[in-house]
Structure 1
């Protein structure tokens, strides 16, 4: 089988494919809908339209939103991808994939049921309905990721519908268990004589550019995460520090030095600047190449993650990151996953947004960090960036094992040093005095020149 895993079929095979798709779509039209609580969200006041941060706009994946999208468009879009998937793998029929999902040794149905129970989503009530849902949506996701890898005119990232579908697939409650996706991909590539890239790496390639910052080192590590829950969890792992596993084990010990005190507070960036704190950029925002074969080696950009913020000798070092139209949706769904999943600890995105909420209090704070190269603002207006981070942490519980506790402690210790504070105040006083004297001397000099000119004209 070639690298693109594509092949052609006869007219008879195509008719069978169309029949299989029609049956699947009919069988999955009555999926279960979650009756649980909705997460309360806020929207941009500056934007003309209301943002929906947790509901898909085009494609439903899994049971929760199957009745809340445009079912005609959802059906048409999945039809295209299902047909393409089955034409790609003429060696296996739809029934063979159904058999794979029902295989008692793989326990995929049990895993799917447990997955949806853990995130409080009602799933189809019969095994048959569950199998049809997993098959249709699973084949769609696998085919979508493969098309991104192949690039060219068929790359969904190049179309409006593809871009919307890609955003939909990073919603916390719009997911399939990763074991199901892996099983479908493994069966589809069985017998391939060429080297087959891991499905984890293909997912990272397809979705990495939606992250505010990711590290290329994590892209090349197929063991991150070791036991992926879903597609969103894989993209989540792209952003983590390289020593994330060690930090998780330390967190489990309940180290008191890294415990978050709810009374802790950090001044904004401009306030910290007034007491002598300097902000330095570190790392870079890596842009994933459009072509899979152009991905550089891990050494290209180092191992600086989004969360590698440090404070030492009055200097806060912050990895640069981008802010665009997808940033708020990305953060909100990562935070939702952290809040629902106890196994994710430390809660990197939750703690990061709390830190940024304190630092980026106003437009002036965003402007300061942007001018220092830390924020790449693709929204044009700095006040929009401040608005995003001021609202991300609303009604979100901060973890007790606060990841940036050491940064807060060091910054607050510096700000409390009376000698340091007075030193900065004296510097500001003498600078202001110097400006007044400079203006006064300039005014006197100008006045003397005027008087001299007047006397010379007499």
Structure 2
């Protein structure tokens, strides 16, 4: 067996073989004919000698035609495969509705920071992590939740399956990429996960005992695992479309068209993950609202706010009447000064230590809106921020939502980048904690500093599209004024304590007395009495 990969070499090889066979057969035929028929004429002998050359020409022509046919066949298959890919792309554009896409897979450039912050550890919700072996243990509790719903409402399971089947196509368009589940599998997953989520929401709000669960239930009770479940359910890849939850809850309550109640239940369920716990009195709230120019909070979870999923509802509740930048445009005029991915180019403001040396004071701002930062007369007022073990995953998923969804602003990203600029070391964290601005449960200040320094490592951020850019410019302008730096240095070195003040005062008095003594000595010399 000879393996030949070159077409020309194969052709010459075949020609050589055929030539040798033809020559051998021609020689044998000639010798036989001459021995048996010595009386035949010379013309017949010449015709026999011409047969090998004719067979060679036939072999060469056949081989060339076969090679050409093989080349044409390969080119044809290649062109057909390209046309099939183009047809598939055309079909994807025709079938896919990119406007409805809202539940994204985390991009790889964001996962490089910390993949664990985006991947559920206990429970899977939705198709992205459905069926994973380490998450299957929670499936039996999902079926228990569905059984409790059917037993409590006396409904047939077909009622829920039919209701979700009507929304299947719309629900599939909310997810990125092709969902490999069949129609029945997808509907079953939506009903099972949706009822499980609603049971958790209602159990936290109304009490699990009222829903029929025992007080020692391993899942449906206020135990330590509930916090881990909350962290999993707030992740971007672990979401269900809000309209699915609205439909399922409407069937349970006998009001299929209700909206907004799921949002309210979701906010109550995820309240422990809130990054601020600043309690406000009624008078403080009234003063805050009057200073902001309105008399009531704008976020009403009972109204139809057009929420996409629970993470989007949570983000809306954080912002409330927050900064309202202009909507982002997909294609912008490129500028090397704005659209940047380099962390060194994301510097909005100096760190706390440097600002403090320049005379800028830090003060806790009384508000429950953690993003509402103010700067006036050298005082930077920052609302209180609570950092716990779920803060990192929460901020990373909120940033991922703002990075992926075009209709989202970048308010959370702007705030995190701002805080990242302020915090460079554990000394910065300690000073913010001393001012009452930063509270954390993470062991030591160095862990908090490392957390903020890693949150925006791979984030593409436009510093000119931040709601904190004008404030940062005012702070930097104050920082760059030399007189402010000198005054801060004087205050820090000579007026930082009462003893230092007394020493400076004594030195000034002694200097004045020495000057007076010198003056009178010189004056008496030139003007004797």
**Corresponding residue for residue 235 of structure 1:** 314
Correspondence 1:71-110 to 2 at 5 A: 71-90=135-154, 92-103=155-166, 108-110=167-169
1:365-390 deviations in whole A, cap 9, x for unaligned?
11111111111112231111111101
- Secondary structure class of the residue paired with 2:174: helix
- Secondary structure class of the residue paired with 1:70: helix
Measured in 1, the distance between the counterparts of 2:149 and 2:354 equals 56
Q: Which 5+ residue runs of structure 1 have no aligned equivalent?
A: 1-32, 44-50, 285-303, 442-458
Greater helix share, structure number: 2
Change in Cα spacing, 1:197 to 1:415, as seen in structure 2 (3 Å) is closer
CA drift of 1:364 comes to 0.8
Change in Cα spacing, 1:219 to 1:95, as seen in structure 2 (3 Å) is farther
Correspondence 1:15-26 to 2 at 5 A: none
**Corresponding residue for residue 111 of structure 2:** 40
Contact 2:261–2:302 (CA under 8 A) maintained in structure 1? no
1:409-449 deviations in whole A, cap 9, x for unaligned?
1111111112222332343454589849949x9xxxxxxxx
Measured in 2, the distance between the counterparts of 1:421 and 1:35 equals 44
Measured in 2, the distance between the counterparts of 1:35 and 1:83 equals 33
CA drift of 1:161 comes to 3.2
Match of 1:344 among 394, 404, 408: 408
Q: Which has the larger radius of gyration?
A: 2
1:283 matches 2:344: no
Match of 1:221 among 289, 296, 300: 300
CA drift of 1:271 comes to 1.3
Aligned residues: CA RMSD: 3.4
Contact 1:176–1:230 (CA under 8 A) maintained in structure 2? yes
- Secondary structure class of the residue paired with 1:343: coil
1:427 matches 2:491: yes
**Corresponding residue for residue 180 of structure 1:** 244
1:130 matches 2:186: yes
1:59 matches 2:142: no
Measured in 1, the distance between the counterparts of 2:311 and 2:349 equals 31
**Corresponding residue for residue 175 of structure 2:** 116
Measured in 1, the distance between the counterparts of 2:259 and 2:243 equals 18
Aligned residues: 366
CA drift of 1:327 comes to 0.8
CA drift of 1:89 comes to 1.8
Correspondence 1:20-419 to 2 at 5 A: 37=108, 39-42=110-113, 52-90=116-154, 92-103=155-166, 108-117=167-176, 120=177, 122-151=178-207, 154=213, 156=220, 158-190=222-254, 198-213=261-276, 221-222=300-301, 226-244=305-323, 247-249=324-326, 262=345, 264-283=347-366, 304-345=368-409, 347-399=410-462, 400-419=464-483
CA drift of 1:37 comes to 4.4
TM (norm. structure 2) is 0.62
Measured in 2, the distance between the counterparts of 1:214 and 1:427 equals 34
